[in-house]
Chains A and B, each alone.
Chain A
């Protein structure tokens, strides 16, 4: 496969990056995260103006009609700038769900244009996660029940907030009763759609973890360049710089794994789920090493609330366990390798 992105994809990524650099500076994120909702309608509106909320929505519903490969680059930026779960859950995951649901055009006609316009938030309650992100602020909850999919307004459910260790997250336990009124998708399709959502969420988080790892690395490099001890920037000491170099290696080797998974999902390739799991494992390792080594390079400052590093570390630690933790994804990889007739050996290694 070809690992290069086309000019349009890169240009879109760069535009998003430039935008977030200004609009999602750490001090602004802190301010937003301190609020009850933890979300900024203003920022969501601006993100919509950038076209991010319309990315996956088909052109027939006022969207742009892009796919997983376009998203993977944007997700890295969302990670780098610690944009909370709601955006990806709404504009990437929920849209995928709507796009692939059998028929029910009325539902699509109602929600997809609003998503594209950035005027609604949608929260997903898949059984792989014990909590539902951003349920309170959502205009619609999409929830699985025995593989059926149901749609509810938050008012139809009981929401119990569980404060996260990561200030960017808003986690809720959702208590609800499935009914004919809430039912939107039969179990037969709901199971496959659920799996497709888990795969895409896995990919989204993998890409965000890459972005977070890069952010933590950049912060570590900045600190090591500015902080002096023994009359020199501490970044000049091998004990410090080698640790940051180790992070760079982890990130660079995780990137193609994430891109490969995005390609496989977009093309509906067999084995795409395993590739998504591999992507999250690799990116998760990069993020964990980035957190550990950047914190070490920061010294005691890295342990404070004041240093921005904590925002990105805690988000990385938190989402690393969301949509299936390491154990879950490692098991998916192992199951694929040990499956009867698994494609192993030199004939298939480089596909």
Chain B
């Protein structure tokens, strides 16, 4: 199936030319020493080639292909949403590696553009655009997962104006490979829930920070625990005013559910293609049950694709409710795809293998077990859809101050 042909329908030749430009660039540059990065990195494979992937970020930067959705005045390429989707699709279609810079480009960068001071923008944005500095996200804590507002990490202002941070973050992707971390911490002692929180930027390599990998069930370790024991942040590296951290943190999450996730469909498409290839090789394609499930997976992928195109046709300037639903849809679809991959492998899937198809499908299976958990669990997504999307009454949330905010 030719994906470009579908984009064709309403005479979009300029977009086709743009698509071709990206494809050509990827072909020319994702080669030579970068060739081994094809289809590597990304969720479940974040440990692959970290240094080379950082160099690849600089290669992208040199071509002007980092931060393509950022406004030009902040160093971005100023692409429309449609163009951004095309970029992400073509990037994935070419087998572009998982982006080491995605937290900077997709999360903290847009948050700084929206909430940061001119000085912060000047200090941090160019480094992100250049692929020179990499970021980690310090939100979740052992007791603040779905209930993010229960953050207990504290920050205290020192006489010299700097902020001292004490506490622990967890599930921090790529912390061991990053230069900076943004942290949601409690700046008002005794405050509860989403009040009294502040948003700080800290260099990760400093004496007060230690990073411990968390081993995953598949054996790898791409998440970390990050401990803060007297770590320091400059006063001018607080985003927003003290106590306004929650607003910044939530604004940033809107970006997490943004455009780049749509490009993932192309990645999914590669995975499905691989599953079909393996099924043909090992004869599973002849099994009616497997055939039906593969067809069902293909249908789900088309649904996501058409929904993306529908959103874009609506000339969307922001992706709200659709993006809310999208996380729930893709994560469940992808979790099923992982199981399908293992069932296509059959008993062979039980054995660790260096054979690229088998290794990739096992990785897909293992990491897709986490899809319905990270970046907002299924349960949280459904609550969001019901409460924000449908306007239904909020679930009773115990004695957390989040509920008391709801009282009239």
Contact = CB atoms under 8 A, between A and B. Distances in A.
A237 B379 CA distance: 9
18 contacts: A129-B347, A131-B347, A165-B349, A165-B351, A229-B150, A230-B150, A239-B395, A295-B373, A296-B378, A300-B373, A303-B369, A304-B214, A305-B217, A314-B217, A321-B342, A325-B343, A327-B284, A327-B287
A52 to B, nearest CB: 25
Contacts of A300: 140, 145, 170-171, 223, 370, 373-374
Interface string A209-247: 000000000000000000011111010110110000000
Interface stretch (B82-90, B124-132, B244-252, B397-405): B397-405
A7 interface: no
B211 interface: no
B390 to A, nearest CB: 15
A164 B353 CA distance: 9
A325 B214 CA distance: 32
A12 interface: no
Nearest to A321: B347
Interface string B134-145: 000000100101
Interface in B354-384: 362, 366, 369-370, 372-374, 377-379, 382-383
A302 B145 CA distance: 13
A313 interface: yes
Contacts of A166: 350
Given A230-B402, A300-B374, A326-B343, A321 B289 contact: no
Contact of B377 (A296, A321, A327): A296
Contacts of B349: 165, 321
Given A166-B350, A330-B289, A313 B397 contact: no
Contact of B351 (A171, A234, A296, A305): A171
Contacts of B372: 296
B146 interface: yes
Given A296-B378, A305-B217, 12 more contacts: A162-B351, A164-B352, A165-B366, A230-B147, A231-B399, A236-B398, A239-B379, A300-B170, A303-B217, A318-B350, A321-B349, A326-B343
Contact of A322 (B140, B335, B347): B347
Contacts, number: 121
Interface of B: 140, 143, 145-147, 150, 170-171, 214-219, 223, 284, 287, 289-290, 335, 339, 342-343, 346-352, 362, 366, 369-370, 372-374, 377-379, 382-383, 395, 397-400, 402-403
A295 B349 CA distance: 20
Interface residues of A, number: 42
Contacts of A234: 146
Contacts of A326: 289, 343
Contacts of A299: 145-146, 373, 377
Contacts of A130: 347-348
B351 A164 contact: yes
A166 B218 CA distance: 9
A183 interface: no
Contacts of B373: 295-296, 299-300, 302-303
Contacts of B399: 231-232
A325 B346 contact: yes
Contacts of A228: 143
Contacts of A313: 217
A169 interface: yes
A163 interface: yes
A306 interface: yes
A127 B354 CA distance: 24
Among B284, B342, B351, B369, chain A packs the most CB atoms within 10 A around the CB of B351
Contacts of A182: none
A292 B13 CA distance: 45
A311 to B, nearest CB: 9
A162 B400 CA distance: 50
A254 B98 CA distance: 42
Contacts of A131: 347, 350-351
A317 interface: yes
Contact of A305 (B216, B339, B400): B216
Nearest to B140: A300
Contacts of A229: 143, 145-147, 150
State the 5 A-B residue pairs at the shortest beta-carbon distance, nearest first: A231-B398, A232-B398, A310-B217, A229-B147, A305-B215
A333 to B, nearest CB: 12
B216 A303 contact: yes
A99 B267 CA distance: 54
Contacts of A317: 342, 350
